[in-house]
Amino acid sequence: MKTALSISVLMILWASVICAQHPGSQKKTRYGIEVNQFLTGSGFSSGTEAYFSIVPDQMKQISIGIFYCPEVKKISGLIVHHERSLIRINRGHVPAIVPYAFYNLIYRKTSMRELLMNKEIKGDMVTYTSMEHHLGIGLRFKVSPSVYFKSEAGYGVYLGSIKKPSAPDPLTGEISGTNGFGAIARIGLSYTF
């Protein structure tokens, strides 16, 4: 958990540097909250995210949040998300649909029963710890001046133990997660104030 706390502090510092206002700037920093449902290719079931976002202008956004795992029914990770609009937005006029590129970091630490090759038999309690990095594109649909519907798709790498078992080890017969690549898909709502 020390690692998760360190990552959170570094991301907050990073967000404050990115979002710093220059003296005399006409742009107003806005803040937001966001809720998403997502699915990744690392073997875990669909999860729910809740974010706090900093929006220094209409072109970029940085978000820090938590991940709720429905399999274990508790908060199981931290998420950092950064977006950059792919079109230039002038003078506060925001179009109805805005495409953007994103970077997403998911840190998971989940304890659950291990799934064995025979899916009907569950193994010992294990802890899955992973860090997933994704890049992708998304669309932000304007529902009202402050509410947006978002949809994203991307691809990335996951590092650490994951819930996507590899072949059993030839010596011990144990099944463990491996590093690899996987997709991410997300939909959600955001409110900016």
Domains of the chain: 2-14+29-192 (2.40.160.20)
Contact 160, 177 (CB under 8 A): yes
- What is the SS3 assignment for 45? coil
How far is Cα 66 from Cα 45, in angstroms, rounded to an integer? Answer: 16
CA angle 74, 47, 150 (to 5 degrees): 135
pLDDT tens-digit map of 93-133:
778 899 999 999 999 887 777 665 555 666 667 777 888 99
Q: What's 179's DSSP letter?
A: -
How far is Cα 153 from Cα 36, in angstroms, rounded to an integer? Answer: 13
Average pLDDT over residues 59-83: 92
Average pLDDT over residues 67-91: 88
Asked whether residue 157 carries a pLDDT value surpassing 80, the answer given is yes
Residue 9: per-residue pLDDT: 54
Model-level pTM?
0.76
Average pLDDT over residues 132-137: 95
pLDDT tens-digit map of 163-183:
665 555 566 555 556 678 889
CA angle 129, 83, 1 (to 5 degrees): 25
Percentage of the chain lying above the pLDDT 70 cut: 69
Contact 82, 60 (CB under 8 A): yes
Residue 6: per-residue pLDDT: 60
Average pLDDT over residues 64-86: 92
pLDDT tens-digit map of 4-31:
556 555 555 555 555 454 444 456 889 9
